[in-house]
Structure 1
Amino acid sequence: MKTLLCCTLGAAALALAACSAPTAKPETVMSTVAPGMTQNDVIKRVGPPDRFYGESGNECFQYALGKYGNVPFAIYFKRQAVIATARATCDPAQVRAAAGPAVAWHSTDYSVTRR
């Protein structure tokens, strides 16, 4: 009985420690992304995006950073390589501009949300 109680308390303490793990500061996360990185490199460093816009490698990954997800961070790609970052939400007009005139776009902008 005493062993069971100790194991339960230990597991509870471990669970609480995991919940209170510090969240990386948005500036720290943003500084790890550099122009020229591939989409796979970004996903390895920052994780999968919360939303993405665009198509055919000319896209924008959007992240919600900060302790409460209240700091938007956008990463713009051209041919699957980072061309720009911004502390803002993705702007579909910039995604279209990065693609250039040779890329055919759908009549409506779209986004995909990770659940």
Structure 2
Amino acid sequence: MNKLLYATLVASLLGVSACSSPTPTPDVAMSYVTQGMTQTDVVKRIGPPDRVLGENGNECFQYALGKYGNVPFAVYFKQRGVAATARAKCDLAQVRAAAGPAVTYHSSEYAVTRR
């Protein structure tokens, strides 16, 4: 009986300590992303993006960071590697510039196809 009580107490304490770990501030989360990282590395470090613009490895991952999601953060990729980051929403002009001349954007601004 004492072992069961002890195990329950330890499990509950571990659960509480896991919940109370602080969420990193936007600046800390942004510092996890460095130039040259792959898209997979970025997702592992700061999670899945809230929005994606572009396609075929030339994309922008947009994150809403901060306690209320009020700090936008953009990660620009060129050939699936981080090319740049910005403390702003994704800029379609930068996504197009990273893609180069071999990509055609459709009027929806989100769909991309190779020529």
Question: TM (normalized to structure 2)?
Answer: 0.78
Structure-1 residue corresponding to 2:104? 104
Structure-2 residue corresponding to 1:72? 72
The offset of 1:14, in angstroms, is 8.2
The offset of 1:21, in angstroms, is 4.2
Query: Where in structure 2 are there 5+ consecutive unaligned residues?
Result: 1-10
Secondary structure of residue in 2 paired with 1:36: coil
Q: Does 1:62 align with 2:46?
A: no
Structure 2 matches for 1:1-115, cutoff 5 A?
Answer: 21-110=21-110
The offset of 1:110, in angstroms, is 2.2
**Quick one: which amino acid aligns to residue 72 of structure 1?**
P
Query: Equivalents in 1 of 2:41, 2:19: separation in Å?
Result: 27
Query: Equivalents in 2 of 1:86, 1:95: separation in Å?
Result: 12
Query: Equivalents in 1 of 2:38, 2:18: separation in Å?
Result: 31
Q: Which has the higher contact order (CA 8 A, sep 6+)?
A: 1
Question: TM (normalized to structure 1)?
Answer: 0.78
Output the aligned Cα RMSD.
2.4
Query: Equivalents in 2 of 1:77, 1:14: separation in Å?
Result: 38
Q: Which runs of 4+ in 1 moved over 4 A?
A: 11-21
Percent identity, aligned pairs only? 68
Secondary structure of residue in 1 paired with 2:103: coil
Secondary structure of residue in 1 paired with 2:24: coil
The offset of 1:13, in angstroms, is 8.8
Paired residue total: 111
Cα distance per residue 1:40-79 (max 9 Å; x no partner): 0000101100111011110000001111111000000011
